[in-house]
Amino acid sequence: MSRHVLLTGFEPFGPHSVNPSDLLARSLEGRIIGGRVIRGRVLPVESRSLRGRLETALREERPEFAIGIGYAPGRAALGLERVGVNVLDFELPDASGVTRKNAPVLPGGPAAYFSTVPLEEIADAWASAGVPGYISNSAGTYLCNQWLYEALSLTAKAPAPIPVGFIHVPALPEQAMQLGAEKTPSMTLELMLKGIETAIEAIAQRSVPQAPAQPQRTGEKVWIPGGVAKR
């Protein structure tokens, strides 16, 4: 049984005709990284349907872990999000024209969930690989934060929750030029790809079960988080 990674991007939205997260998810779809097959999906920037789409993707793909990617023009480097908070607050309408004012992602849900991917290991791997990235303390209050909160909320109750993380990417060079090159940092798609691959490898390396040490797990077929998540 092969192991999968769910990797999602978002469709272009608002004033942006290109969304680097869309390009990244499609570029990596089907690739094998860290011994895992990448299952790329591109989601519409639609707040109301996001939870349902994520739930479907997690159920269908049964991934070993899940990574969301989002576009954050103005950021200078890859931002590995530490926490998803139970807030939606945005004036820029999503693709369905929805706006939110200090509303919860999940009414009655906890204030926040911590990302369950190994933040320090990924940041260290980026440093070793020469990819500029950092641990970010806020994913904002738009759909990227919603993705992280929803995905963590959906997986938190599983017997063996899969690692879930979110990475914000800066503008592409072409986008920086449109937004004003003097003020807008950028990163090439190649370096973004390297950063996503490096992150996946770091997670995969940590997730690898060591056969001699955990033989019983293999027997039970529960050591593959993807297998657990489908229950």
Alpha carbons 111 and 58: distance in angstroms, whole number = 23
| Percentages of the chain per state (helix, strand, coil), in multiples of 5 | 40, 25, 40
Site for its own copies in 136-165 (CB under 8 A): 136-138, 140-141
**What residues are labeled active site?**
81, 144, 168
Amino acid in the structure at residue 105: V
Among 37, 112, 158, 160, binds its own copies (CB under 8 A): 112
Task: Tell me if 103 contacts its own copies by CB under 8 A.
Answer: no
Helix (H) or strand (E) holding 101: strand 100-103
What does residue 203 show for φ and ψ, rounded to 5 degrees? Answer: -70, -45
Task: Tell me if 28 contacts its own copies by CB under 8 A.
Answer: no
Task: Tell me if 231 contacts its own copies by CB under 8 A.
Answer: no
The contact mask relative to its own copies for 164-203 (x = CB under 8 A, - = no) is: ---------xx-xx--xxxxxxxxx-xx------------
Q: Select 8 or 145, whichever has its Cβ closest to its own copies.
A: 145
How many residues sit close enough to its own copies to count as binding (CB under 8 A)? 48
Amino acid in the structure at residue 137: N
Terminal-to-terminal C-alpha distance of the chain: 17
Alpha carbons 81 and 65: distance in angstroms, whole number = 15
Task: Tell me if 102 contacts its own copies by CB under 8 A.
Answer: yes
Q: Select 60 or 174, whichever has its Cβ closest to its own copies.
A: 174
Q: How far is C-alpha 144 from the chain's CA centre? A: 8
With tokens 């599983």, the residue in question is: 158
The contact mask relative to its own copies for 57-96 (x = CB under 8 A, - = no) is: ------------------xxxxx--xx-xxx-x-------
Task: Tell me if 18 contacts its own copies by CB under 8 A.
Answer: no
Among 2, 56, 60, 111, binds its own copies (CB under 8 A): 111
Among 30, 110, 209, 215, binds its own copies (CB under 8 A): 110
Task: Tell me if 119 contacts its own copies by CB under 8 A.
Answer: yes
DSSP structure string for 159-223: SSPPPEEEEEE-B-HHHHHHH-TTT--B--HHHHHHHHHHHHHHHHHHH---GGG-HHHHHHT-S
The footprint of its own copies (CB under 8 A) covers 75-79, 82-83, 85-87, 89, 101-102, 110-114, 119-120, 126-127, 130-138, 140-141, 173-174, 176-177, 180-188, 190-191
